[in-house]
Amino acid sequence: MFRNREILIFLIFVTFLTKLGNRLAIAENVSRKFSVGCNVGYTTFRMEAFNDYIDEWYVGFVGMPMEHIKGGIAFSGEVKYHLVSNPKIYLMCSGGYISDKTSGSTLFDSIDKVNIELHASAIPILLTGLYILPAGKLNIHLGGGIGCYLSKVKIEFKWQAIPEANTETKWDGSQIGFHGLGGVEYYITKRVSLSGNLMYRLAKINKLKDENGKTVKVGLDQKILKLDFSGLEIKGGVNLYF
């Protein structure tokens, strides 16, 4: 249900931008061939299966629940190149970082406290086509594309009384994903702009590898552990054109 609501929000936003762009569209006489930009924002994740795993081992281990992985901060840098003038189309290459973490603690032998930290993250490397609706200083853009998601999970056990007993587990994986986006861009000057984007992505990591290269399986039934970074992302940023 939550995923359907996110998709609906994204489709309504894109429809609104399309209608607004068609109403405001005007000819543009400024040549902007190439740009670089950076963005920051927040993203949601679809981590039900992974959170079930957290509940299974942590509750059994500690006897109380740990907070779930739901979403977190998102960073990205991008490069855009003007491919076609009529219609106005840009090709955008971008790389970023998305992550969330959770933590908990327990006592062993009623003496030593152990802090447990779990961190899930991904590096998206995206290729996006953008269709631009010029409207003077305020441009509207719609697009979509494909990307590779390089993911990592890190679990740390930190013993307060016995630091030398600390342990760390790392798993990683990668998968191809897809995304669509819509947004606006306001030109402060001819070469500098501020932008805002709403993106929905499909990015499910179907398997993870441990440090020995083995597929990570969890639970009594040894299910393959999966991560789902699919979700809605909202970001704002600044762009410099050349």
| CB-count exposure of residue 49 (10 Å: 0-12, 13-18, 19+) | middle
Query: Residues 6 or more apart from 57 whose CB is under 8 A from it?
Result: 218
State the residue for tokens 């631009």: 132
* Rounded Cα–Cα distance for residues 89 and 129 (Å): 7
pLDDT for 60: 56
Contact 173, 214 (CB under 8 A): no
Phi, psi of 113 (to 5 degrees): -90, 135
* Terminal Cα distance for the chain, rounded: 44
This prediction's pTM: 0.84
pLDDT for 148: 97
pLDDT for 107: 60
* Rounded Cα–Cα distance for residues 229 and 201 (Å): 8
Which two structure tokens, joined as six digits, stand for 200?
């929905």
Q: Which domains does the chain have, with CATH numbers?
A: 2-241 (2.40.160.20)
pLDDT for 114: 75
Contact 117, 153 (CB under 8 A): no
pLDDT, block means (10 residues), the chain with 242 residues: 72 74 56 88 91 73 71 95 86 96 69 78 97 85 96 86 79 96 92 94 93 85 88 96 90
Q: 87-126: string of b/e by CB count within 10 Å (b at 16+)? A: ebbbbbebbbebbbebebeeeeeeeeebebebbbbbbbeb
pLDDT for 63: 53
pLDDT for 67: 82
Contact 149, 178 (CB under 8 A): no
